[in-house]
Each structure stands twice: as structure tokens, then as C-alpha cells.
Amino acid sequence: MKRTYIFLLHLCFWLLFAILPLSTVFIGEESVSTGERFYIFIVYSLHVLNFYAGYYILVPFLFIKKRKLYLKILGTIVFIVIFCLIRYIVIRYLYLNLQIEIEEKMVTKMMSFFKNPLEVGFVYSVHSFVFMAYAFLMRSTFEWFIAQKQKVELINQNQAGELALLRYQMNPHFLFNTLNNIDTLTHTNPEKASVGIIKLSDIMRYVLYETSADFVELSKEITYLKSFIELNNLRYGDGFIQFEHTSASPDKMIAPMLLIPLVENAIKHGDKKMGNPCIIISLSGGKEETQFEVLNYVSNEVKQKDIVGGIGLNNLKRRLNLLYPNRHTFETFINDKNEYIARLCIS
């Protein structure tokens, strides 16, 4: 909590506390002598001193540092006794030595009050305890807000570090798969391998310079996705992957490299014996939500094993939970046509 806010809260507290006595002393209908005003000012100042001694000394020393119970009780009693003595000495000195001009009946009442030590001790102890309790409540509240803020900051830092780690894990995973594709092309079609290297260069440029941001424009993610698809079509043949997109909001922001794990998973587990297209990708949506679906065919053998997806899909699920909590749906299933469908909706 900023110091300015703390100062304003303290100021409001004391202004509210002082409204009643100050209105009686300075704007009340009854005339009040200068001596009585001075007396009220001194009492008010003693309350302020009591409060801040508890706020800055007693509460941090005894309660925030989690002392033992008997030390808390003993420290509180000593604190109250000290302030009772200070207040008694100050008030008695004012009346006996400075001879403040106040009404005679008030002098009689105060002198009678001082002649009864038990009454003085009880009243002053209650006052001291009340202001110490105020100090404890206010200081504890501020400390709680500070602790909550630090907790939120720590969670955000941990999530940012975790997202960076997930992104780091994803990039090498993609790079290894792509290099394997190009390596295959160097043996079968060197010309296509050259084109593949250019495509890889474009893709890595996006990975290195765009994905450092938390979110990128959907249009950039689509361009990256197209390059990735073209790179794989070089290896498996034109039309191996079919991509359709009808997004009405290309400027919508999305987490970078969020869609590619589904495509990678389809390539890895898809039945490549099927006629093209073996993988059908569709992207649609507007300003409110984005739908992304990847369909690939799987063999009976793969169907029986149940596709797990490996690190790619696991990282995707974790990123979705961190970046889009309660704002996404993700499902995968295999229908009776041996079509494996991964469907993601982000709002």
C-alpha cells in the first residue's frame, strides 16, 4: 500500500475522532475558556501519542513478530501502565502548576478525581487500551493488505516464469520436428529442402522476435501457422494439410504459439496412408471468441492406444489454465469414422 494512501487513512481516522470534541470546543454554543481548550488539546495529543506508540512500537514488536502469549500479555500491561502514568503526570502537572483557567466546578471534580487512584487508573487504562486496540487493528489491516499484494505479485512472477518455461519447452520441440522434416527432404528433394529452410527461417524469426510478448495479433499467428503448414506440405505433398480460416477479427490478441501444438499432434499421430487432405484445420470466430479445430485420421492401432499427445498438448493445457482461466474450452475425441478431433474455443 502506498504511503500516500496510508497517510490519508490516518488523517481521516483522526479527523473523524476529533469531530465531536472540536465541534464542542470551537463551534459549540456554550462558551469554552482558553484553558479548557488547551486541556482538550493536551488530552487529544496524549491519545495520539498512545496510538502511535502502539502502532510503531508495541504492535510490530509483540504481535507481528509472533511473540509468545505471555510476552504479549505482559508487554500490553506494561505499555498501558506506562501511558497511564504519563497521562496522570501531565494532567496533574497542568492543574497544579500551570493553574489553567477553567470553571471552579471542573477544578473540584478533577481534584476529587485525582484523589481516587483506582478510578484514575481504571479510566486511563481503558482509554490507553482502546487506542492500543485501534493501533493493532489498523496496523494489522495494513500488514494484511501488504502481504496479500506480495502474495499476488509472487503468484504473477511464478506464473510468468512458468509460462516462459513452457514456451521454452515448446520451441525446441517444434524445432526438432521441423529439422527432421528438412533432413528427410534433403535426401528426397533437395530443391524442396531449400524452400523448407527459407520457410524455417521465417518461422524462427516469428518465434524469436514475436513470441516474447504475452499476446500477439491473431493475424500474425495465422501467418505463422500457414508457414508451418506449407513446410509440412513440402514433405508430405501438396494438400496434406488443409487450412481454412474465416476469422472476422484478425487484430484480436492471442497468446503466441497457442495453436501449433494441436497441428503438431495431428501430424505426429495422423494416419498418413489416408488420401489428402489427411489433416483438416479450421479457424473461425469474431471479437468475442475464437474457435480452432484440427481433424486428422487415425489408424485402429492408434485408436486403441488412445492418443495422449505428449509434452505439446500437456503444455498447451497448462498454458490455457494460466492465460485463460474459465475463458476456454478444450476437448479431444475420436468418432466412429476414426477421426481424431481437437477442438479449442477461447473467449
Mean pLDDT in residue range 271-287: 84
Report for 29-38, 178-187, 198-207, 278-287: range of highest mean pLDDT: 278-287
Whether residues 92 and 205 share a domain: the answer is no
Backbone angles phi, psi at 151, to 5 degrees: -65, -45
Q: Which DSSP category does 338 fall into?
A: S
Task: Give the pLDDT confidence score for residue 291 in this predicted structure.
Answer: 92
Select from 149, 175, 207 the last residue of a domain.
149
Tell me: pLDDT of 207 over 60: yes
Select from 130, 149, 168 the last residue of a domain.
149
Whether residues 130 and 221 share a domain: the answer is no
174 in any annotated domain: no
Whether residues 128 and 252 share a domain: the answer is no
184 in any annotated domain: no
338 in any annotated domain: yes
Whether residues 138 and 209 share a domain: the answer is no
Select from 128, 149, 170 the last residue of a domain.
149
More confident residue, 304 or 12: 12
The domain containing residue 28 runs over which residues? 3-149
Whether residues 143 and 207 share a domain: the answer is no
Whether residues 47 and 145 share a domain: the answer is yes
Burial class (CB in 10 A: 0-12, 13-18, 19+), 275: exposed
Cα separation of 77 and 55, whole Å?
A: 16
Tell me: pLDDT of 347 over 80: yes
* Run of H or E including 211: none
Q: What is the pTM of this model?
A: 0.53
Q: Summarize pLDDT for 1-44 with one digit per residue, the tens.
A: 567 767 777 777 777 776 655 555 555 545 556 666 677 777 78
**CATH number of the domain enclosing 254:** 3.30.565.10
Tell me: pLDDT of 307 over 80: no
Task: Give the pLDDT confidence score for residue 103 in this predicted structure.
Answer: 47
127 in any annotated domain: yes
Label residues 182-194 b or e (16+ Cβ within 10 Å = b).
bebbeeeeeebbe
Label residues 91-125 b or e (16+ Cβ within 10 Å = b).
beebbeeeebebeeeeeeebeeeeeeeeebeeebe
Whether residues 114 and 206 share a domain: the answer is no
Whether residues 200 and 340 share a domain: the answer is yes
Q: Summarize pLDDT for 95-148 with one digit per residue, the tens.
A: 665 555 544 444 555 555 556 667 667 777 888 888 888 888 888 887 778 777
133 in any annotated domain: yes
* Arithmetic mean of pLDDT over the chain: 76
179 in any annotated domain: no
Tell me: pLDDT of 224 over 70: yes
DSSP class per residue in 130-150: HHHHHHHHHHHHHHHHHHHHH
Task: Give the pLDDT confidence score for residue 124 in this predicted structure.
Answer: 78
Q: Are strands 216-217 and 328-334 parallel, antiparallel or unpaired?
A: unpaired
Count of positions (residues) in the chain: 347
Secondary structure of 44-79 as H, E, C letters:
HHHHHHHHHHHHHHHHHHHHHCCCCHHHHHHHHHHH
DSSP class per residue in 221-290: HHHHHHHHHHHHHHHH-TTSEEEEEEES-TT-EE-TTSSHHHHHHHHHHS-TTSPSPSEEEEEEE-SS-E
The answer to whether the beta carbons of residues 1 and 146 sit under 8 Å apart is yes
**Band of residue 50 on the pLDDT scale cut at 50, 70, 90:** confident
Whether residues 120 and 196 share a domain: the answer is no
Contacts of 301 (CB under 8 A, 6+ apart): none
The answer to whether the beta carbons of residues 269 and 303 sit under 8 Å apart is no
Contacts of 134 (CB under 8 A, 6+ apart): 13, 51
Mean pLDDT in residue range 288-311: 72
The Cα-based distances of 161 to 124, 156, 168, 317, 320 in angstroms read: 55, 8, 10, 16, 15
Whether residues 39 and 115 share a domain: the answer is yes
Report percent pLDDT > 70 for the chain: 73
**Band of residue 167 on the pLDDT scale cut at 50, 70, 90:** low
201 in any annotated domain: yes
As for how many domains the chain has, the answer is: 2
Whether residues 127 and 67 share a domain: the answer is yes
94 in any annotated domain: yes
**Band of residue 228 on the pLDDT scale cut at 50, 70, 90:** confident
Contacts 24+ apart (CB under 8 A), 149-152: 149/1
Mean pLDDT in residue range 230-248: 82
* Run of H or E including 317: helix 310-323
More confident residue, 226 or 100: 226
**Structure-block grid coordinates of residue 112:** 476529587
Whether residues 211 and 300 share a domain: the answer is yes
Task: Give the pLDDT confidence score for residue 105 in this predicted structure.
Answer: 47
